[in-house]
Amino acid sequence: MNILIMENDMVKCKKIVNYISKKTEKIRVCGIVNNEREAISEFDLGKVDLFLFDLDNTKVVGYDLIKYITLKNLRKHRKSIIAITKDLKLAELLKTNPFVNHCFTKPVGLKVVYERIEEVTNEKLNYTDEKIIKERIKKQLDILSFNFSYNGTKFLQEILYEMYINKNKFYDNLSKDIYPIIAKRHGKTVNTVKCDITQATKVMYYDCKEEVIMKYFNYKIPVKPRAKEVIFTILRHLEA
């Protein structure tokens, strides 16, 4: 896990880096910055997993920096910021931010800060790619108001996952290329899987708002999408 440290006191920085390097090989300090602009530049490179920000810095507007990260809304950075400040109002404000894991108020010991860094690291390392992908798929299905009490929605979720992780495969005929995999997994016929997905898609069309469907599928008028179109459109949204 790569951690970015923002601290303008180089003595403190050295202590933090030395402490982390002695304690674990799972965390690598990938950058040290002393102002907001440098922090944003490092963030935009996309190589950072965790952030340790000392927000008591004359060159930093602490809330604006975290707001920038929040507005980017990248799932991988949820609960990834550990902040330190003496501003009690700012600390209270950051408690509800989905991208802030914890905000310490000064004074705070290095050992306590490191223990939190280690906890976040272990959580992230144990949070597999599979879980992340499946959550993203569920989010897309939720946008379209798919009902998860239907078997067809569950089959659809599994199909999307299989196709997403096997991007190098060519799926043209779903009844031959992907439905049999799901059918075999659940002891169903291919026709049953296909019919259940069609039924779930039909219910989605009536449950979802017209404006949501039109925007999601880029329709100019409300049209009931076919199952194949639903699958490939969701995949495009996942890739976006």
Give the pLDDT score at 127. 66
The SS3 assignment for 228 reads helix
* Pair (105, 140) in one structural domain: no
DSSP for 40-80 reads HHHHHTT--SEEEEE---TT--HHHHHHHHHHHT-GGGTT-
Q: What is the mean pLDDT of residues 126-151?
A: 89
* Pair (107, 153) in one structural domain: no
Q: What is the mean pLDDT of residues 84-95?
A: 90
* pLDDT above 70 coverage of the chain, percent: 96
Give the pLDDT score at 62. 65
Q: Choose the final residue of a domain: 77, 98, 127.
A: 127
Residue 54 or 75, more confident: 54
* Pair (47, 106) in one structural domain: yes
How do beta strands 81-85 and 28-33 pair?
unpaired
* pLDDT above 70: residue 99: yes
Give the pair of three-digit tokens for residue 173.
Answer: 């005929």
Q: Choose the final residue of a domain: 96, 127, 158.
A: 127
The number of residues in the chain equals: 240
* pLDDT above 90: residue 175: yes
Q: What is the mean pLDDT of residues 11-16?
A: 87
Cα distance between residue 43 and residue 28, in whole Å: 15
Q: Choose the final residue of a domain: 78, 109, 127.
A: 127
Cα distance between residue 78 and residue 37, in whole Å: 21
* pLDDT above 90: residue 68: no
* Pair (122, 141) in one structural domain: no
**pLDDT class of 122 with cuts at 50, 70, 90:** confident
**pLDDT class of 58 with cuts at 50, 70, 90:** low
Domain range enclosing 218: 130-239
**pLDDT class of 165 with cuts at 50, 70, 90:** confident
The SS3 assignment for 125 reads helix
* Pair (195, 92) in one structural domain: no
Q: What is the mean pLDDT of residues 184-201?
A: 96
